[in-house]
Each structure stands twice: as structure tokens, then as C-alpha cells.
Amino acid sequence: MSLALIVLLPFIGALFPALMIRAGRSACATTAFVFPLIALVLLLAQAPAVFRGEVLVAAWDWVPALGLQAGFFLDGLGMFFAGLILGIGLLVIVYARFYLAKSDPMGVFYSYLLLFQGAMVGVVLSDNILLLLVFWELTSLSSFLLIGYWKHLPEGRQGARMALAVTGAGGLAMIAGMLILGDIAGSWNLTDILQQKEAIQASPLYLPALVLILAGCFTKSAQFPFHFWLPHAMAAPTPVSAYLHSATMVKAGLFLMARMWPVLAGTTEWFYLVATTGLVTMLVAAGIALFKDDLKGLLAYSTVSHLGLVTMLLGFGTPLAAVAAVFHILNHATFKAALFMNAGIVDHEAGTRDIRRLGGLLQLMPITATMAMVAGASMAGLPPLNGFLSKEMMLHEAVDTTWLGNGWIVAALATLAACFSVAYSFRYIVHVFFGARRDDDAHTPHDPPAGMWLPPALLVVLVVAIGLFPDSVAGPLVAVVARAVTGGAVMDYHLALWHGFTPALGLSAIAVAVGLGALVAYRRVRALWQAGPHPEAKAMFDAFIEGAAALARGITHGLHNGSLQRYLAFALTAFTLAGFAAFLAAPHAAGTRALLPAHPAAIAAWVLLVGGCALTVMLFRRRVLSVLVVGTVGLIVCLAFIYLSAPDLALTQISVEVATVILILLALYFLPKEGPQSSSVRADPLRHLRDGVLAIVAGIGMAGASWAMLTRDGSSLSSYYLDNSVSGGGGTNVVNVILVDFRGFDTFGEITVLGIAALAIYALLDGALFGRTGRRLGAWSPDRPQSADRHPMIMVVATRVMLPLAMLVGAYIFLRGHNQPGGGFIAALVVSIALIMQYMASGFGWAAHRVKVNYHAMIGLGVLVAAATGIGAMVLDQPFLTSTFGHFHLPLVGEFELASAMAFDTGVFLTVVGAVMLALANLSRMGRWTSPYTINTGAMDVDPRAASGKEQG
């Protein structure tokens, strides 16, 4: 439980800062500080067990039917990254309290920060890979909010979009890779997958899985050629930059490579993909960093370079390289977070991050300068600081690595990248804090309040402590983390400042000398750089996005031209081709079931059905007639259901036909009664030929599929429903028991969708009554003569007499539905038709004045009643929508049955009646708006003739 609480605490904490900001900035920051602090304390409480070599696991059933568990596990690697995320997060929270301006919405900032922190902790502690993927994508979304926090800045918005696009695309690829990996291992739990190295690497799907997973890792950790998004994320506030680029966002890719190291590393494919990518990234980004004039830009590219360094070490695939990678992750987090905060202090106090406008700040800002010199020297790899140790370990591994049979190329390129690292690190120190003081200050820079310099100062203390006492301060932690990365295969090593005169030490000395020389001759070196080609990754990305968008627009405009006929043609063509492809790709034999003789009545119904469909095609431009013919086709289908002993379906079909035909005719009242007859439509024989061929081929395909199904024996769920309808659902009407019991969740979803559709119809038609559309409707006159007798007396009397009978029939059908043909859906349609007839016979105003029902509320009540039935089952510790039944005896009444499904059926009844009547009411409102015979009073229709005392009907 404590593992889950460690993950959940930042998410819980994210709810409070936006509220606590009302109590002041300090209260807001304190609230944001408390939740990660508690999570860190809980994490540290588990540390003794982890250092003993234990792996702590907590799991809960997620989807038991699929064998899925939602779980977390804590080993050395997870503890290490969770500690970095929570620990540096606490320092960033304190730093941000004093960095953010009063105009910045601090509560929103802390909420975003804690949301991101929770997602990162979830990534590093997840056991189930599907859960890990959820947190992984959540890091992309929450980092989008953080990078774009200053949304008034165009560069902030663009940087956020770029980060989301690149990391999101990589995340999609990684999802596919993880699914393949889980399928190979036969488990979705990392604790199981990490034991399947031989099976995974022997699988033919190993390489696709590796490439896809690495795509996610490389994009998240800004590896070449995806490195360009990270520098543009510098538009975020400095606390965000310090957090995302030292301990969290960009470290997620490194974490996942380290996590999957035991099962993916050790192959040739892993070495060349990972090590080469890391080496190229380290070298390219280090070269770019040297010539960046923006402090955060320099640090951003240096971050990319150091991420490449760690990636290269993981790619080497040796245990000692993994130790060096872990050690450098720790060192980089300390000095890089300190440097980002330091850059924020300089920007905050001096008003600029442009190195060309800075200089001589040592005397003005001694505390800030001291921290920058120590952290910068560590980044350069100078002794006795922690960066020197891990850089020397990196060079040692590079010397021992052969690439394409060459034993020196990796060491040479790594040393060249180290030269650049020394140069840009000392440029940060010398060009900002030494030299001539700037004289264009609006105010004199000075050291910030303690709240801003204490967080980076604590990190600088760690930089020195780890450098001076590496084995005692960092040794145990590095050991336990390295064992988790390598699966326990770690050779003997010793963290120390001095290992004697080694090739790595010589290469390190060369890097320092060359780097300092490059800084001394910086102007000449920069001139050479500027003279060369500079392919801009951002420009290429923007061009790619613009080209992809243009291609998408072209395809969209080419396919989506507004023609429903064209859309249907594409869809039917695809379905037909897929069906025939499946048919031709498989062997087939004749059916084994005997054919039944065709009854003359069935043949006649079939002829009428085909004739009705043909008439619909012929009369489709005459809309009213085509609707009536379609209704006739529906009635013939209803007769077919009766003939095939399906009374429930017959009742449903006839009720639906009557209700929908009436509603469609009401809607057609506002449209031309005939479709367009343009010459271009009539003169397009190719389109007619296309439609005819497609209709014939699709019809043959459906007929063939139906024939194949009917002439072959097969098993289905019907026997289960028939056998368990009474014993399991308490009803003999199998169809109704399926709807309200066995498949009740489907029905619940359907009535929810029906209610949403009714509300959408209301919103659509309600909007049509106002604005330009409303004025057009008000000025519209019917295009056909209207009857003078709008409410015929015979129809008025007949419908009023039949109303109570219809209501009684509806109640009867509802109550008997569990054991006889009927149910809530059919009863709702019967009642709806009875009410529709009242509106049709007596007018909307007359009916609405007497039937004062809020149909919006009826829809909501129906869905709530259905949901309450399901929730009631959960209260009794049963699955959602589990029903029960029982037999009861009452005097005079006798024995009868009650089922909880009746409450669910009541919800269905209310939702269907509400949806049908809401659609009718809105169509009637439009009719009132446009009718030339009525005056719109807002409450009911008033006929002008009735106003003179001649009341009609």
C-alpha cells in the first residue's frame, strides 16, 4: 500500500495549490511542498529493505478476466529515480516560490508540477507495462502544460507543442514495442518480463520490439535526431527547466533503457543502435552548446550531450558501463539542476540570459558565482568533483570499446565531445562571472534571497561531497542501483578520485587542455563554426509538420467533399473487398444443413420487400413517398419476424417504424419535398454505373454470407441464454432477460447514447430558432398548400379516446415483458406513439399545455435509475448490474414474481420516452415558429380563429 501511496501523493497534492493560493504564495508553496515530502519519507522508509537486496511488490487485480494486474515494484533502480524525482522536486518547489513573479499564477504552476511529478514517479515504480505506458503518456501531457506555462509567449506555446509532438509520437511507437515485448514474454508485468532474456532475444520479434521501444526512449531523452525539442522547451520558466532536464522528463528515456537492460542489452543490435546514437548525440550536442549565447540554451544542449553520454554507456552493454551510466545520472542531476537554477538567478537579477551582455558578476553576485564555478567545473569533468569521476569512467569504457572492428574511434569521438564539454563549461563560468562588468544595467545585480540560492547550494554541496568521498557518499547507492540495472551481474569496482595513470586519465587531461585552448581562441573557433553549414533541426521539423499538414489537407479535401453518396461508396467498397478477400483466401465446402421449403406467404413477402427497396431507389428524390415506402419495407420485415416466431422483435420493429416515420415526416416538413434534379446529376452515367455495380456486388456478398451462415451448423451463445434465462434471470422471455440482465451493460450504454443523441437534437434545433437561421425560418412559407382543417375532429376524438387504452397497453406490455413479449423499450415506444398522436391530432400547444413533462429531466432520470440498479448490485458486493429475483405471495393477488431488472427496465422506459418526445417537441417548436396559421405566444399555439371565439377541435 505504501508504494501506491508514494505514487498517489503528488496527484493528491496537485489538487490543493490552486486552492491554497487564496491564502497566499507561501501557504501555496508549503502545501505543494508537504505532499512530495511525505512521499519521499515513505520512500526512504523502504530504503533499508532495498539495500538488503529485496524487491518490494504491491499488486491489485485490474482486469482479472484477462489476467491483468495493476502493480508497483520497488528495487534499487526505482528507488534511485523516485528519490531524484521527489528530492529535486522539493528543491524546485522552494526555488519556484521565490523565482515566480507575483503576476504568475503560482497555484496553477504547482498543480502542473505535482501532476508531472506523480506521472514520473508512476513511470519508475510501475510493474505492469500497460500502467507504465499510461504514466508515460501522462508525463508528455503534463510536461506540455509546464513548458507552455507562460502561454502569453509564442515561443512557449511552440516549444510545448513541439515537445508534445515529438515525445507523443515516440510514445505511440513505444506502446507497440511494449505490447510486442509483453506478448513474447507471456506477461505484462516487468518483474516477469525481466526474467525472460533468452526467450525475448531469441524471438524473431526482438528487433521490431527493440526499435519501437528505443524510439520512445530516444524521443523522450532527446537523442539525435530528436534532440531539437529540448532546447526549445527552454521557453518554460527556469524551475521547469531545472526539473525536467535534470531529474525527470529527459531522464525517463534513460530510466527505461536501464530498466530493460537485463533483457534487451548484450546483442549486436542493441550495441549499434544505442551506443552509436548516444555517441553521435553526445558529440553533436556538445559542439552546438559551445556556440549558444543563451545561458539556458547552452545548458539545454549540454544536457542533450550528457544524455547521449549515458545512452552510449548503456549501449556498451557491459556491467561496468552500466555502473558508470548510473553514477553519471546521479552526478548530472546534481550539477545540472544547480546550473539551471543558477542561470535562472542570473536572468532574474541581471535581466538577461544573453552571455554577450553579461560579465563581471563575480564581485556583484559572489554566492551565485561560487555555485556556478563549482557546478560548472563538475560539468567540465575537473577533479575533485563528481563529474570528473563519472567522466573518467566513461572514457575508460570508451577505450575498451570496439566499433566496427576499430578500437580507437569511440574513444577519440568521446574525447572530442569531452573537449567541447570543457570549453562550454568554462565559457559559462568565464564569460558570465569574469571579465568586464556590463554598464547597461537598469539596476545593479546582486545575490538573490536565500530561498533562491539555498536549493542550488545544497546540490553544489552534494557535487563536492560525492567528488571527495565517492565510495562512502554514493558507493552503496550506485551499487544497489547497478545491480538492479544489470540483474545482479556487476564486476568488482571502486569509486575513487585516483586510479593511477590510466589511458582514461590521459584522455581527460587532453580534453581539459584542448577545451581551455578552444575557450582562449573562442573568437577564431566561433568564426570557423559560423563558416560551416548549419542544418537547423527546428526548421526541418517545421517543414516536415507543414508538409504533413498540407498532405493531410489534400487527402481530406479530396475524400471529404461533402457527398454522403461518395462516403458510402468508399465504405461499401472497402467492406466488400475485405469480405471477398476473406472468402477467396479460405477453402469452402457446401453447407450441411437441410433447406426448408419456402411458404407462398414468405415468397410474397420477399417479392414485396424487393419491390419496396426498388421503389425506394426509384423514388428517392420524392422524399415523402420514399419515406412511406421505407416504412412499408419495415412493416414487411416485421411480418418476417412474426413468421419466424420472434414476437419481441416484431413488436419493436413496428413500434420503431411508426415513431421514426412520423418524426422523419415532421423533419421533412422543413425541407423541399423533392431532391435536387440538376443536369450534372442526371448526366453522370459513370457514377450511376459505379453505384449500380457496387450495389449488386455488395448485395451478392451479403446474400452469400447469409446463405453460408444459414446452411452451416455452428455454435452460439443462444443455447446458454435459453438454458439460463429462467434460472439465472428469472424470466421466460429470453430476449428481455438478455437486454436487462445478461447484456444489461450494453443496454445501459445504448440508452445513454440515445439520451445524448436526443440532447444533441435539442441543441441543434434549439439553435435553429435563433439568429440568422431563426429569421429564415420565420420568413419561410410552406411550398405546398396547407389544409384548412389543421385538427380534424374525427382524429381528435379518436386519439383522445384511445390515449388511456394505449397507456394501459403500454403498462401491460411493460409489466409482462420479463416473461412474455414486451418490456420497457417496446412499452416506451407504444406510450410515445400514443403521445405523438395527441400532438398530431390536437396541436403542439394543446398537448404541451396538458402534458407538462420536462423531457430533459426524464432522460436524465432514466439513465440514473438504470445506473442506480447497477450500483445497488455493487453495494451488495456483486458485479455492476447483477440482477436478482424472487417469488412473493400477497392476499387476493396470489403468488407473483419480482425482479430487480424491472427497475432497470424502468430506466430504459423513461429514457426512450424522453428521447422520442424531446425530438418531437423540438420539431413541433419549429413548426410553431413557421406556421402561417398560428401566433407564437411562447406557451402554446393560439389559432387566430380561436381568438375570435371559434375554437377548433
The single-letter code of the amino acid at 431 is H
Asked whether residue 799 carries a pLDDT value surpassing 90, the answer given is: no
Residue 449: the pLDDT is 87
Residue of 451, 101, 122, 418 lying closest to 289 (CA atoms): 418
Paired residues of 471 in beta bridges: none
What does the alpha-carbon distance between residue 473 and residue 467 come to, in Å, rounded to a whole number?
9
Paired residues of 60 in beta bridges: 70
Residue 18: the pLDDT is 85
Grid coordinates of 176: 507497440
Phi and psi at 325, nearest 5°, equal -65, -45
Domain range annotation of the chain:
1-238+249-264, 265-520, 734-781+789-947
Kindly report, residue by residue over 497-527, the tens digit of the pLDDT: 777 788 889 999 999 999 999 988 888 888 8
What does the pLDDT average to over 592-606?
A: 84
Kindly report, residue by residue over 849-860, the tens digit of the pLDDT: 787 788 889 999
Q: Residue with C-alpha cell 520512445?
A: 216
Burial of 794 (0-12, 13-18, 19+ CB in 10 A): exposed
Kindly report, residue by residue over 68-94, the tens digit of the pLDDT: 778 899 999 999 999 999 999 999 999
Average pLDDT in the chain: 85
What does the alpha-carbon distance between residue 453 and residue 441 come to, in Å, rounded to a whole number?
22
Grid coordinates of 25: 504564495
How close are the terminal C-alpha atoms of the chain, in Å?
A: 72
Residue 376 or residue 585, greater confidence: 376
What does the alpha-carbon distance between residue 643 and residue 833 come to, in Å, rounded to a whole number?
25
Task: Give the H or E element holding residue 379.
Answer: helix 366-380
Asked whether residue 725 carries a pLDDT value surpassing 90, the answer given is: no
Among 249-253, 279-283, 544-548, 612-616, name the one with the lowest average pLDDT: 612-616
Kindly report, residue by residue over 543-562, the tens digit of the pLDDT: 888 898 999 988 888 777 77
What does the alpha-carbon distance between residue 633 and residue 647 come to, in Å, rounded to a whole number?
17
CA distances from 219 to 268, 302, 536, 796 (A): 22, 17, 17, 72
Paired residues of 899 in beta bridges: 885
What does the pLDDT average to over 519-536?
A: 82
Residue 80: the pLDDT is 94
Phi and psi at 888, nearest 5°, equal -130, 160
What does the alpha-carbon distance between residue 156 and residue 241 come to, in Å, rounded to a whole number?
12
> How many CB atoms lie under 10 A from the CB of residue 706?
10
Residue of 851, 842, 853 lying closest to 946 (CA atoms): 842
Asked whether residue 412 carries a pLDDT value surpassing 90, the answer given is: yes
Among 105-119, 132-146, 156-170, 548-562, name the one with the lowest average pLDDT: 548-562
CA distances from 610 to 81, 118, 393 (A): 69, 62, 82
Residue 364: the pLDDT is 87
Residue 865: the pLDDT is 92
Residue 679: the pLDDT is 45
Asked whether residue 415 carries a pLDDT value surpassing 70, the answer given is: yes
Q: Residue with C-alpha cell 431532391?
A: 675
Residue 733: the pLDDT is 87
Q: Residue with C-alpha cell 539545454?
A: 300
Paired residues of 857 in beta bridges: none
What does the alpha-carbon distance between residue 368 and residue 364 come to, in Å, rounded to a whole number?
9
Burial of 52 (0-12, 13-18, 19+ CB in 10 A): exposed
CA distances from 835 to 197, 832, 844, 939 (A): 69, 5, 11, 18
Asked whether residue 168 carries a pLDDT value surpassing 70, the answer given is: yes
Task: Give the H or E element holding residue 692.
Answer: helix 685-710
Taking each helix axis from N to C end, the angle separating 503-520 and 522-531, rounded to the nearest 10 degrees, works out to: 90
Grid coordinates of 932: 402561417
Burial of 572 (0-12, 13-18, 19+ CB in 10 A): middle
Alpha carbon 689 to chain centroid, angstroms = 43
| Band (949; pLDDT cuts 50, 70, 90) | very low
The single-letter code of the amino acid at 474 is A
Kindly report, residue by residue over 627-683, the tens digit of the pLDDT: 888 888 888 888 888 888 888 888 888 888 888 888 888 777 777 767 666 444 455
Residue of 377, 361, 349, 371 lying closest to 432 (CA atoms): 361
Residue 492: the pLDDT is 75
Residue 722: the pLDDT is 87
Buried b (16+ CB within 10 A) or exposed e, 875-887: eeeeeebbbebee
Burial of 819 (0-12, 13-18, 19+ CB in 10 A): middle
CB 867 within 8 A of CB 748: yes
Phi and psi at 403, nearest 5°, equal -125, 115
What does the alpha-carbon distance between residue 553 and residue 555 come to, in Å, rounded to a whole number?
6
Q: Sign of the C-alpha dihedral, residues 379, 382, 385, 391?
A: positive
DSSP 8-class letter at 502:
-
Buried b (16+ CB within 10 A) or exposed e, 106-144: bbebbbbbbbbbbbbbbbbbbbbbbbbbebbbbbbebbb
What does the pLDDT average to over 119-140?
A: 93
Residue 419: the pLDDT is 94
| Band (737; pLDDT cuts 50, 70, 90) | confident
Entry pTM: 0.71
The alpha-carbon radius of gyration of the chain (Å, integer) is 37
The single-letter code of the amino acid at 930 is T
Kindly report, residue by residue over 273-329, the tens digit of the pLDDT: 999 999 999 999 999 999 998 898 899 999 999 999 999 999 998 999 999 999 999
> How many CB atoms lie under 10 A from the CB of residue 628?
18
Query: Which residues, 6 or more positions from 863, have their beta carbon under 8 angstroms from its beta carbon?
Result: 751, 752, 755, 907, 911
Asked whether residue 932 carries a pLDDT value surpassing 80, the answer given is: no
3 state SS of 212: helix
| Band (840; pLDDT cuts 50, 70, 90) | confident
3 state SS of 933: coil
Residue 944: the pLDDT is 36
Residue 441: the pLDDT is 56
Q: Residue with C-alpha cell 564555478?
A: 373
Query: Which residues, 6 or more positions from 227, have their beta carbon under 8 angstroms from its beta carbon?
Result: 281, 284, 285, 304, 537
Our CA angle for 460, 465, 468, nearest 5°, is 125
| Band (481; pLDDT cuts 50, 70, 90) | very high
Residue of 38, 57, 56, 59 lying closest to 47 (CA atoms): 56
What does the alpha-carbon distance between residue 283 and residue 304 come to, in Å, rounded to a whole number?
10
Residue 686: the pLDDT is 81
CB 625 within 8 A of CB 634: no
